[in-house]
Structure 1
Amino acid sequence: MTIHDHILTENDFVKQDTLKYPFEERGLQFGDGIYEVIRVYNGNYYLIDEHIDRLYRSAAAVKIDVPYKKEDMYERLDDLLQKNGIDGDAKVYLQITRGSAPRDHAFPDQTQANLYAYVKDLPRPDTFLRDGVSAITHEDVRWDWCYIKSLNLLPNVLAKQTAKEHGCYEAILHKNGEVTECSSSNVYFVRQGKVYTHPAKKNILHGCVRMRVEAFCKRENIDFIEEAFQVEDLAYADELFLSSSTSEIMPILRVDGQTIGDGRPGALTRKLQKCYEADAHINEEDSIFTSQTAAE
């Protein structure tokens, strides 16, 4: 089969060799790729080891050969910050696809993986971190291997959009009533001073910040229990919070319009937020703990 020269784009017909992005790219046509979002504070990566390790685990799971060894990946990511003069808060989006080849479901025989990365300024979500957010519950219709951070995110996108249409920050996902995680974050249930979250099985993403939450809890003598809970349990939570690289540790104050606890960020969530700020070496002047939060 011959594919001819002229390609239809959103504006006009162009010759395929003038496209800046290969049109037969497996990430574009199949979602055949993986990605990471890495947080940067004051020009420095946060949890980069955890993100790079997960990137290579995801690549191995979907049989993609990463085009760089780990030490080379670190160097190139450092160069990305340096070339862009990043000295503040930002995020790096990194994506690796199986490569560019004629469209066929089976893997191409000889194709090198494509790597794309960019850095974008990203201030901390101070207001949400201080005041908390609302969420909805939503059926989890994703595939069973969510531990792979793949490009196949349409169910997550639809859940997040539904939350947005309800004026909420996140969608708490559940399968047959059992809470798994959120559309783009992990979620935690607090009851009687104990933190509960879904076990790190294949059906959830093993969040990098999630690992730090577990470490913070152990250090602060807070029980961290990997045990699934039910949607109906949310009504009895003393506190709820979520975590991700861009949301940090975020209090959830309402779910499906119902108030959680006393409707304010809880003391345990605040303690973990302080642990996060210390761990990420966030400057005192950038802390969310103003006199307002200190007075709570």
Structure 2
Amino acid sequence: MSRLPDLVRDSQLDTQVRPEYTRHLYVETDPTSGQRAIEKKEYWKREKRIGSGGIGIVWLEKCFRGKRNAELRAVKQFPRPAKTRDLVRELEALAKFSHPKYVRCFVQSFGWYEDEDDLYIAMEYLPLGDLNNYLKAAGPVPELEVQQVVFQLLEGLSNILICSLPPQNWWVKLADFGISKRVEDCTTGPSTKKGTAGFVPPEFHGFTPSGEDTASDPPFSADIWALGEITFRMLTKSVTFQSSYDLFQFTEGRQTFPIASLEEKRVSMPAIEFVRACMRPSAGDRLTAPEAMAYEWMSAFVARSPIPHSVVSFGYSIIAIAIYFFSLTFDQR
């Protein structure tokens, strides 16, 4: 692999991959014994496959000797890419957002390693899996709980941490940073041209109102569209647009936004307006993450917290990651 950023290089694990187990070697200091450097070994055994994507597989692994961080972990395995740009970006984002101050919003990485054919990323394991699979199995989610999830997604997208929140049943974390981007790296243009079918905006299908030029689309507008789709599906357990043709008709102004499913579930008007504002046909007309956080439906949720909020901006923005359900993990308390 070509020259790596220091953050990525420092997160690489000294590893031996064998068919029956994976072994990591760590060098640590032991202040109790006064030893400056002690070698410690950690052994992991693959338990089962828990997910897959376009080119990768996610495994559940269990530590059977020398436990250091956790007894269980998720390991993403994928072939070595011909180009390392996206890989380095993913590894750098994982290392960055594994810092304790980001742990509320992002899945923690324990490091990465490689063998002759593949690359592996060891990550925090959340036993309830990803949000997409949960929604397939469950019915529509109560609106208050949807607000909790959407708020946490916006928290991750805008990197604004609200220190005091109402009691919550959901804890959502973003993961899979293969197409992430720092906000200072992005000026204009779509956040990514990648995404999962059903969650990508009309411009990714080549549908634009009156032939708009997508080169001037605001950054991260695709993520806001996907956020609207997630919100719609959680509230209704149905997709927003039944076909690409319906999406095209909506983009061209020949079909109104399909609010009937939301109304049938007695979703509040502020929630309906929030979804519509996230899924406007023109990318430039959609909410930004800060605007979405301040929108009536979200601000009403935040206002229910009895304790004043302390807001901290981290200066980074993560786009398109698990919003596209590559790996949107969660824990429901």
TM over 0.5: no
Higher RCO (C-alpha 8 Å, min separation 6): 2
TM-score, normalised by the number of residues in structure 2 = 0.28
TM-score, normalised by the number of residues in structure 1 = 0.30
- Higher normalized strand content (fraction of residues): 1
